[in-house]
Amino acid sequence: MRTLALMQDLRRRLGEADQRVAQGGANGPQGSLRAAPQLVRPLLPGTPSGAPAGWPRLAAPPQPEDPQRFAQLQAATICQIGVGRAGVRQRTATQLKWLGDRMIAVEAVRSELPQGFEQQIGAALSVQTRAGDLDEFLLRPDLGRELPADALSQVVSRCASGVDVQVLVGDGLSARAVAMNAPPFVQAFRAECQQRGLSLGDVVLVRRARVKVMDQVGEALRARTAVHLVGERPGLGTGDGMSAYLIFEPRNVAMDSDREVLSNIHARGTRPEEAARRVADMLVEFMRVGMSGVKRQAAPDPAERARAQPERRRDRVAERHTPRWGSAGSFAGAAPVGAHRA
C-alpha cells in the first residue's frame, strides 16, 4: 500500500511538471529550455500547440513506418520498446511504468511464502538453509546452498530414501512466483510420475534456498534424480517466474553443468501443468541414458553409438588393408610430418 501511495504521488507530481512545461515552463518562456533551445530543437523540431513562438517541441510520440506491425511487436512483449521521448528525457508514462516495473521486481525479492504453504504443496516438512534473514540470504549466496546439520537430520529421518524422484520447493529470489506456480505444478507432477511408473519421494520445502541445496538433500536421500522448484531472479515487471532444476544422481560435488533447467514457468510462459509433463519426460530420459546436463546433451544416443561402432571398426580394418598409392608412387593418404594417424 505504501508503494502504491508513493507511485500515485509521483504520477501526480510528474503530471503537474509536464503541464507547467507545456504552458511555458516553471520559469515562463524565458526559462532554462527557452534560453537554450538549440540543445533540444535538433532532437525534436517543431512547436507544440499553444506554446510561444520558437519553443521546442517536447512531446514526440513514436511514428513508425509500419504502425500495424509496430503495434503487434509491442503487444508481443512486456519490454518497453518504441516509447518515444519528451525533449532529452523519457516521457512521463514511460518513467512511471519503469518505476512500477522495478517495484514489482523489488517486492518479488522481498516476498515471503504464505503461512500454511506446506499444506498447499503436500510437503512432508519445512526446513531453512544456513541463511538467517533475507538480507543475509541475498548477500551470502553460499549460505543458501546448504542445510544446517539438524535440518538435514530431519530430512533424512522423515523422508523416504532411494526413490526415483526427489522434489524440493524453494523460495529462491521470488517467493511469490513459487506460491503461485508450485501448487499446480506439484499436483500435476504427481500424476505424471504415476503414469510413467516413477516413485516420487516426500516433498521438502526449503526456505532461503539456492539451487545447489538440491544436491545435498538428494545425496542424503540417495535419490536417482532430483527436481528443485525455485523462484527466478525477477526482471522489470516479471516477478512471477519459477524454474525447475533437474539433475541425475545428485551429489554434493555436482557442478552447474550437471544440471538442466526449465525456466519461465508462469501463466504467460510455460504453464505449470505443461512444465510438469516436460520435466517428467526429461527425468525418464535422464534415467535411460544415465546422465544429465552438458554430458547428456553432448553425448550421442547410446543405441545409435552401438549401431555405428561396428561400421567404424569395419572401415578401419578396410583402411589398414587397402593400399592407397598415387599415380606417382607416393602414398596418397600420408599424414604431415610429425602427425599421428588414428
The answer to the question of residue 136 being in a domain is yes
Instruction: For residues 128 and 256, state if they share a domain.
Output: yes
pLDDT of 84 strictly over 90: no
Instruction: Place 72 in a pLDDT band, splitting at 50, 70 and 90.
Output: confident
The answer to the question of residue 67 being in a domain is yes
How many Å apart are CA 263 and CA 265, to the nearest integer? 6
Instruction: For residues 254 and 176, state if they share a domain.
Output: yes
Q: What is the pLDDT of residues 10-32, one digit of tens each?
A: 667 766 766 665 565 444 444 43
Query: For 215-234, what is the mean pLDDT?
Result: 96
Calculate the average pLDDT of the chain: 79
- Domain region containing 15: 2-25+39-110
Task: Give backbone dihedrals phi and psi of 238, rounded to 5 degrees, phi first.
Answer: -130, 95
Instruction: For residues 267 and 161, state if they share a domain.
Output: yes
Lowest mean pLDDT among 56-70, 212-226, 291-305: 56-70
Instruction: For residues 45 and 60, state if they share a domain.
Output: yes
Query: For 287-294, what is the mean pLDDT?
Result: 94
Q: What is the CATH number of the domain that holds 197?
A: 3.40.50.11240
pLDDT of 133 strictly over 50: yes
pLDDT of residue 92: 87
Mark which of 110, 127, 151 sits at the end of a domain: 110
Instruction: For residues 158 and 52, state if they share a domain.
Output: no
The answer to the question of residue 305 being in a domain is no
The pTM of this model reads: 0.69
In 3D, which of 93, 87, 85 has the Cα closest to residue 34?
Answer: 87
Mark which of 110, 143, 168 sits at the end of a domain: 110
Decide: 241 and 222 in contact? Cβ < 8 Å: no
Instruction: For residues 201 and 287, state if they share a domain.
Output: yes
Instruction: Place 294 in a pLDDT band, splitting at 50, 70 and 90.
Output: very high
The answer to the question of residue 187 being in a domain is yes
Instruction: For residues 198 and 126, state if they share a domain.
Output: yes
